[in-house]
Structure 1
Amino acid sequence: MDLESIPGVGEKTARALAELDDPERALRAGDVAAIAAAPGISQGRAARIARGAIRRDHDDPGGFLATDRAREIYREVLALLEERTVTDYAAQRLETIYPSPTRSRIEEVRAFAAEALEREPDPAVLEALEGLEPLREPGDVRVRERCLATTDAERYSEAREAIPELSVEVVEDAQGLAELARGYSTVIALDESFAGVTVEGDVQVRPDALENPAEVVPERPLAFFARNRDRLGAAVAVHRAADMDAACDLSALENGLSRLAEDGTVAGDDELDRLTTAVDDLDAAASAAESVANDRLREAIREQDVTIEGSDLLSLVERGAGVDSLLSRELADEYAAAVEAARDHLVDALDLDQGESEIARRAFGDEPTFPVERDEDAIGRLREELTAAKERRAGRLKRELAADLADQREGARQLVRDALELDVELAIARFARDFGCTMPEFVPAAEARGTGFAIEGGRSPLLDEPLEAIDPVDYAVSGVALLSGVNSGGKTSTLDLVASVVVLAHMGLPVPAESVRLRRFDDLHYHAKTQGTLDAGAFEATVREFADLAQGGEGSLVLVDELESITEPGASAKIIAGILEALSENGATAVFVSHLAGEIREMAGFDVTVDGIEAVGLVDGELEVNRSPVKDHLARSTPELIVEKLADEARDEAVAANGGAPNDGDPEPVFYDRLLEKFD
């Protein structure tokens, strides 16, 4: 794969991506976490790179969201999806799902979404997901107690590259090997020529070591599992809670992780724990043993009455004898008992086996001294013996555990990926349930021209209301239409609903409606309501934008909210009528919300459809509205409804004042009726 062919990826980023284990898989899958593991690439940047790779693979030209308001709609519906994720990964992964005009990309996501809708957002699964995170690379692993040895310079370079975790040393002969063995717990000789050579220390001749690095450096695979123990454990919990098929043996993985400590050492082995504790506690135990001997000896001296005749004392002094000679002569048994107690304490405190005990007992000699002191050479030998035994056992256990876990590494990676993807699926499922969504139906390409959209039972997800409080909307448009209606009647909300449905459909996701049928649009142009009249420059820019759109409008969906606010009402009606004519001729689908629908219809050079969001009336000063636009109907305005209400009230008051009989001469009803006639 040519990484630099991905939109937005230059030479530097391509080099960073190339350091990933499998960049092609990560890019194809939109695996934001894996991409973000490349040096210098953030999560947000990873999502953009993934989108670029997807666009390249599907030959997607981009630019579907053609206006600021269209992009806002996308960000708002995306935020609703991301709110329903548990993990940060799922939120970033959703960033790779974007509205596209390309059929292959839409179908790819639709297949994923269809499976997602089968998921049940079980609270136990959501709780298990809370502990889940993407896997981390273990970083550099260095092992200092082992080394590789060779006599060949070329082999030296090969070894450094194959097993960077170990030091590699060049030796000339067996003597050099012996010197290395004094400085390292284990020396691994790579040359066949060393076979049969006897060297003191742990020296292994392994000509095949470079072909089997995990056996030589089990820390390499173990570091991966150690650093990701909690993440892997969480992935196992997710699979169990969701009853998912696993990419590896969950019980075997759990068993292996239970034997692995966070620092990459083997856990749960009693013998290794004993040796580790003995090495760590050796100095303290030796000091305590000294204290045991000296305390017993002091007590013996206090209780012992020692009598020395003058001639004997003179003889001892002449020979230069000191307290040691006195101890040997007068307290020999007590000294022997004190030393034996020190030896027993050292053996018991360190829980030493028979062979280790023999070395430990040499730490306290039979020759009387006071105070009793340990023999540092003997303690040093004991330390070497314990350390070597610990390293041998740790090495063997690491190799065994690494062998058990090594084959599960890729399965463990897939286990976490599947659990993280489940969070993405559940977010889609939760969104669909929360907003009553269904999968939309796209008309075949052969039927697309002249087809727009048809929404039944749509509820805008952008309204800040509970779903049950939102009135369902039915609306269908083929070609160009004007949408009229009273203020606060829901015209803008209807445009938002249409935009949300179209954006989600082109993302390949379920839409908030009972059913939706639409064509595959090339782009979405949504122009929000302009605040105030535009100055000349802004007005000119707006007109230019529509001129460009009119040149190639076929395949576009154009949603415009009260474009008349850009200039004077009379001029606005003429401009909008001209824009609609051009869009209609080019086969675009368009909905223009306008309070000038009647005027625009009169000025348009074709029979433009006018739909209306009809207000049923005023109840206690509040509008009662049929939120679904009525086809081919110019909706009444709020002022008309208010005048009608005033006329009805005035007529009722006149009748009441006339004793229940109509009074056609009353001036107020006549005035209101005259105003109502102006709306006809």
Structure 2
Amino acid sequence: MDSMELEAIPGIGPKTREALATLEDPVEALERGDVAAIAAVPGISQGRAVRIVRNAIRHRHDDPGGFLATDRAEAVYDGLRSLLAERAVTDYGRKRIETFYPSAVPARIAETRAVAERAMAREFGEPVREALTGLEPLSEPGAVRVRDRCLATTDAETYSRATEAVPELSVELVSDARALADLARGYATVIALDREFAGVEVDGDVRVEPDALENPAELVPERVLAFYGANRESIRAAIEVHRVANLECELDLDALAGSLSRIEDDGQVSSDAELTRLAAAVDDLEEAVSTAESIANDRLTEAISETDVTVDGADLLSLAERGAGVDSILARELTQEFDGAIEAARNHLVEALDLQDEEATAAARVFPEEPTFPVERNESALSRLEETLTTARDRRAGQVKRELAEELAGAREPVRGLVRRALELDVEQAISRFAADFDCVMADRSGRGFEIEGGRSPLLAEPPEAVEPVDYAVEDVALLSGVNSGGKTTTLDMIAAITILAHMGLPVPATAARVPEIEEIHYHAKSSGTLDAGALETTLRDFASLSAGGATKLVLVDELESITEPGASAKIIAGIIEALQESEATAVIVSHLAAGVREACETPVTVDGIRALGLENGELQVKRSPEKDHLARSTPELIVEKLAEGDTEGRTEAFYRALLEKF
């Protein structure tokens, strides 16, 4: 499937296809079921992303859908999906589980079954779930703007190409080397894109790189670093998931974790020793110079106060005629003290800022060579020192960024795989927890009929361990009888849940299970009250279509007798059973009219029953597993029997015994 074929998927029209085109590979995202990537597309909600992914899966498997043929079947599926989703740790896992659905297509079932079998073979402990808590799908960072460097060119076409390729940087049109030099005074780094500038001598960090646009990441390491900064915590979580779950990975996880530790959330890089030194020198420059001035002046003040200076009349007149003042006296009388004071000031400045080589030379020029009092900084020399340190800091920062970005640039796709594997592991973890919580096994699918051992409905409100296991097998069509609250509806729910899960490719809550290979499941829930004529007609039309259709089916019906009068209900149910037998459907029909239905059927029909053991302290006791060829007793019969057995005086025994004979 290519991008043009996307519109063949239901739910994807021209506008949605255009929106999906903003993804790096929309087809691949759909094929792997990446709900998070689809939902990240502007204009596509998470709910819609789930539907699009599910439709894409159906499209890939040529799956017509329609497996869940009734509202009650949909409700059972929704309940199962919720049970799975609530066991996921990540939001991605919960949304991904929503893309699982029951199908009649063997390839789709096998696809999910492989995931389930892998999940059930893994050990998922609390450390894995803990690691998953910080995991989120990767996101794209916002726009990055870099102001300490620019691109320069004399060519309008190159200008246009550079502006499009590297929007993070300013691109400047220049006419000659002089214009290039002007740019170098305003930016820490200037990258000239024209070969004609090769060999040109310009002050500042000016690089001639005609091929620079071929690798924008080298020009703008911030582009790479912003991605890792925005996704740092999720990548760290994915690393931890791989470690605790022992997942295979082509990356050096320790090295990746070390690189991530140097990146801030905003994509900035933590300083190395040299960058820390330069940044501190720039920040502390003013304070260090002020302190150095104080040191020099304090030493001179002390020297002057402790020195007797004698100036005879002729010298004084000479100094006065020249307009000289204390500076001349310092030069003549306190040269050594002045030199010492200046040396102390320079030493303090160099040591306080940890200046090196050329920086120390530039720092020496901040204080005057000629004696003066008070000692004052040379503002122009100080500005040059500040510019030297700032440029060095920015260059070092750029170098640190480039080195780290170079380390990480090639790991971007492997990192995407790292996070994807961790996210998918959450899906497996949810399946594994579901299987463990409900003691699940993988079911077989074959032929007609089902056979379930130790089955339990996961939809009950009770804890799984409190649910009594049920054994039940049906070859084709069976009537299921039983007392009220004996577990008939729960048995239907169990059959529906196990069949739906098996056709999703997921584990089923049973000791062992074989379910029919079907294309549709029709579960008709118990109706409340007698239907009117119009509703009865609609119900009969539904069953007529059901029996006439060519698809293989599982039909579950809960107390259909309420559709009309009891006498007519038995006849209608009998007719439905005969039609289902001819269509070779698998069916279980719960009815309190089992005896009457059996009499009304023109063909033999199996009647199974949930055996009532009696009433104990007002509580009904039953054997939950249906018995074959057993017509279960009704609740009224049990009550009459209890009354008969409790009549110790025998005065009403004959009445109760007569009633019992009616059943």
What's the TM-score, normalizing by structure 1? Answer: 0.90
SS at match of 2:462: coil
Deviates more, 1:562-571 or 1:93-102: 562-571
In the alignment, does 2:198 pair up with 1:214? no
Structure 1 residues 321 and 40: alpha-carbon distance in aligned structure 2, compared to 1, 3 A threshold: farther
Cα RMSD for the two superposed structures: 2.8
In the alignment, does 2:371 pair up with 1:374? no
Task: Kindly report which structure 2 residues correspond to 1:159-558, keeping only aligned pairs within 5 A, or say none.
Answer: 159-267=162-270, 269-293=272-296, 339-366=342-369, 372-443=375-446, 448=447, 451-552=448-549, 554-558=551-555
Contact 1:247 1:412 in 2 (8 A): no
Query: Per-residue CA shift, 1:447-469, capped at 9, x if unaligned?
Result: x3xx0322111011112223332
Q: For residue 602 of structure 1, what is the aligned residue in structure 2?
A: 599
Deviates more, 1:256-265 or 1:408-417: 256-265
Structure 1 residues 246 and 621: alpha-carbon distance in aligned structure 2, compared to 1, 3 A threshold: same
Structure 1 residues 539 and 286: alpha-carbon distance in aligned structure 2, compared to 1, 3 A threshold: farther
Query: Per-residue CA shift, 1:356-376, capped at 9, x if unaligned?
Result: 122123223345666654333
In the alignment, does 2:635 pair up with 1:638? yes
Q: Which of residues 649, 655, 659 is equivalent to 1:675? A: 659
Q: Distance in 2 between matches of 1:466 and 1:191?
A: 74
Structure 1 residues 196 and 648: alpha-carbon distance in aligned structure 2, compared to 1, 3 A threshold: same
Contact 2:116 2:505 in 1 (8 A): yes
Query: Per-residue CA shift, 1:569-610, capped at 9, x if unaligned?
Result: 333333333333333332222222221222222223432322
Contact 2:104 2:518 in 1 (8 A): yes
Q: For residue 63 of structure 1, what is the aligned residue in structure 2?
A: 66
In the alignment, does 2:152 pair up with 1:112? no
Q: For residue 658 of structure 1, what is the aligned residue in structure 2?
A: none
Contact 2:516 2:586 in 1 (8 A): no
Q: Distance in 2 between matches of 1:100 and 1:252?
A: 44
Contact 1:480 1:590 in 2 (8 A): yes
Structure 1 residues 636 and 294: alpha-carbon distance in aligned structure 2, compared to 1, 3 A threshold: farther
Q: For residue 134 of structure 1, what is the aligned residue in structure 2?
A: 137
One-letter identity of the residue aligned with 1:364: F
Q: Distance in 1 between matches of 2:66 and 2:307?
A: 102
In the alignment, does 2:608 pair up with 1:611? yes
TM-superposed deviation, 1:673: 0.7
Q: Distance in 1 between matches of 2:326 and 2:43?
A: 72
TM-superposed deviation, 1:327: 7.2
In the alignment, does 2:23 pair up with 1:20? yes
TM-superposed deviation, 1:330: 8.2
Q: For residue 48 of structure 2, what is the aligned residue in structure 1?
A: 45
SS at match of 2:513: strand
Equivalent residues, number: 660
SS at match of 2:217: helix
Q: For residue 94 of structure 2, what is the aligned residue in structure 1?
A: 91
TM-superposed deviation, 1:158: 2.1
Deviates more, 1:565-574 or 1:120-129: 565-574
Q: Which of residues 567, 571, 574 is equivalent to 1:570? A: 567
Q: Distance in 1 between matches of 2:376 and 2:530?
A: 99
One-letter identity of the residue aligned with 1:494: T
Q: Which of residues 589, 594, 616 is equivalent to 1:592? A: 589
Structure 1 residues 569 and 306: alpha-carbon distance in aligned structure 2, compared to 1, 3 A threshold: farther
State the identity %.
65
SS at match of 1:117: helix
Q: Distance in 1 between matches of 2:325 and 2:494?
A: 105
Query: Per-residue CA shift, 1:479-520, capped at 9, x if unaligned?
Result: 322211011111111111111111111111010011111222
TM-superposed deviation, 1:156: 2.1
Contact 2:516 2:554 in 1 (8 A): no
TM-superposed deviation, 1:279: 2.1
Q: For residue 158 of structure 1, what is the aligned residue in structure 2?
A: 161
Query: Per-residue CA shift, 1:507-543, capped at 9, x if unaligned?
Result: 1101001111122221222222223334455444434
Q: Distance in 2 between matches of 1:600 and 1:103?
A: 37
Contact 1:32 1:47 in 2 (8 A): yes
Deviates more, 1:422-431 or 1:148-157: 148-157
Contact 2:144 2:168 in 1 (8 A): yes
TM-superposed deviation, 1:401: 2.2
Query: Per-residue CA shift, 1:378-402, capped at 9, x if unaligned?
Result: 2221122112222322333333222
Structure 1 residues 190 and 608: alpha-carbon distance in aligned structure 2, compared to 1, 3 A threshold: same
Q: For residue 558 of structure 2, what is the aligned residue in structure 1?
A: 561
TM-superposed deviation, 1:410: 1.4
In the alignment, does 2:563 pair up with 1:579? no
Contact 1:84 1:431 in 2 (8 A): yes
One-letter identity of the residue aligned with 1:676: L
Unpaired runs of 5+ residues, structure 2, are none
Query: Per-residue CA shift, 1:27-74, capped at 9, x if unaligned?
Result: 111112222232233333322221111011011112222222222211
One-letter identity of the residue aligned with 1:277: A
Contact 1:553 1:587 in 2 (8 A): no
Q: Distance in 1 between matches of 2:307 and 2:558?
A: 111
Q: Distance in 2 between matches of 1:593 and 1:321?
A: 122
Contact 1:489 1:613 in 2 (8 A): yes
Contact 1:185 1:391 in 2 (8 A): yes
Q: Distance in 2 between matches of 1:379 and 1:43?
A: 58
Q: Distance in 1 between matches of 2:358 and 2:404?
A: 27
Q: Which of residues 121, 126, 142 is equivalent to 1:123? A: 126
Q: For residue 660 of structure 1, what is the aligned residue in structure 2?
A: none
Q: Distance in 1 between matches of 2:630 and 2:270?
A: 78
TM-superposed deviation, 1:307: 9.5
Contact 1:454 1:518 in 2 (8 A): yes
One-letter identity of the residue aligned with 2:573: I
Q: Distance in 1 between matches of 2:559 and 2:198?
A: 90
What's the TM-score, normalizing by structure 2? Answer: 0.92
SS at match of 1:355: helix
Q: Distance in 1 between matches of 2:319 and 2:473?
A: 122
Q: Distance in 2 between matches of 1:528 and 1:295?
A: 98
In the alignment, does 2:150 pair up with 1:147? yes
Structure 1 residues 668 and 412: alpha-carbon distance in aligned structure 2, compared to 1, 3 A threshold: same
SS at match of 1:141: coil
Contact 2:177 2:202 in 1 (8 A): yes
One-letter identity of the residue aligned with 2:25: D
One-letter identity of the residue aligned with 2:588: V
Structure 1 residues 10 and 281: alpha-carbon distance in aligned structure 2, compared to 1, 3 A threshold: farther
One-letter identity of the residue aligned with 2:662: K
One-letter identity of the residue aligned with 1:463: L
SS at match of 2:286: helix
